[in-house]
Amino acid sequence: MAAVLFDFSGTLFRIESTEAWLRAALTGAGLTLSGPELAETARALQAAGALPGGANPLPVPEELAGVWEVRDESSAAHRAAYTGLSRKVPLPDPRLHDVLYDRHMTPAAWTPYPDAAEVLSALRGHGVAVGVVSNIGWDLRPVFRAHGLDRYVDTYVLSYEHGIRKPDPRLFETACAALGTEPGQTLMVGDDRRADGGAAALGCGVHFVDHLPVTERPAGLRPVLDLVC
C-alpha cells in the first residue's frame, strides 16, 4: 500500500463523555448543576444523540430528519442538526445549546487513541502517505495540531468542504488524488462499515476498527501496520 486514509471520530480520536462535555460547557458559561441534575441531564443529552461523535439518535425526530440527513454537507446543517437535538433536553440557559456545540469542536474535547501517534509515525517512517477522510461539519485540523498528530497527515478531505459525504466514492477519490495514489494502492481505515466501507466501491482496501472508549482500545490501530508495511 502506498497510502492509508483514516476516519477521524472513533478511529483516530474519541470524543469526551457526555457528562464531561456538559460539565465543561457549564463551567465555560459560568453555570452549575447539582450532581444528580448533571448526571440526569447528561443521560438525556446522550439519549437524544446531541453529542457529535457520540451515539446517534434513535429515532431521529421527524422535524430534524431532513437536516440530519445532510448534516455533514455544510457547517450550517451540522450545527442545526446537533443543536436541534440538544434542544430536546431542558437546560438551565438556552444559550447552552450553542455553547455545547462549540465545546465539541475544541481540541480539549477529543483524545487520540493510545496507539494513534505510534501508527501514524510508523507509516511516515515507511514512506506511506496518510490522509484523513471525515464526515464532519467543522475544521478538525486544529485538533490534530493540538495533539501533535498534524505532522503525520498529508491531506484532509472533509465532507463539509466538498458538499459530499461518505460513502460517496468521490470523497475517497478526492483523497487519493490529493495524495497522488491509486485506489488499489490505498487502504481506508474506519469504524463505520457503511460510510467508510464506501471506499471499496472505488477499489480501495478497507479495514475496520471498533468505536470504543479510549481506555478500552489500546492497540486497535496496530494491525494497520501489518496490512501496509
Q: Is the pLDDT of residue 169 over 90?
A: yes
Please give the backbone phi and psi of residue 221, each rounded to the nearest 5 degrees, phi first: -90, -15
User: pLDDT grade, residue 229 (50/70/90)?
Assistant: confident
DSSP 25-65: HHHHHT----HHHHHHHHHHHHHHT-STTSPPPSSPPGGGH
- Report CA-CA distances (Å) from 38 to 19, 24, 33, 85, 104: 7, 11, 5, 18, 18
Across residues 166-192, what is the average pLDDT? 98
Average pLDDT over residues 207-229: 96
pLDDT at 11 over 90: yes
For 18-49, write each residue's pLDDT tens digit.
999 999 999 999 999 999 999 999 999 999 99
Residues 160-169 have a mean pLDDT of 98
- Mean pLDDT for the chain overall: 97
Whole-number pLDDT of residue 62: 96
CB atoms within 10 A of CB 94: 9
- pLDDT band at 14; cut points 50, 70, 90: very high
Instruction: Kindly indicate the confidence band of residue 58, based on its pLDDT and cuts at 50, 70 and 90.
Output: confident
**pLDDT > 70 fraction of the chain, expressed in percent and rounded:** 100
Q: Per-residue confidence at 226, pLDDT binned at 50, 70, 90?
A: very high
CA distance 173 to 66: 27
Question: What pLDDT was estimated at residue 106?
Answer: 98
Looking at residues 50-71, what average pLDDT do you find?
Answer: 96
Could you tell me the CA-to-CA distances from 105 to 49, 68, 203, 207 in Å, in that order?
16, 18, 32, 26
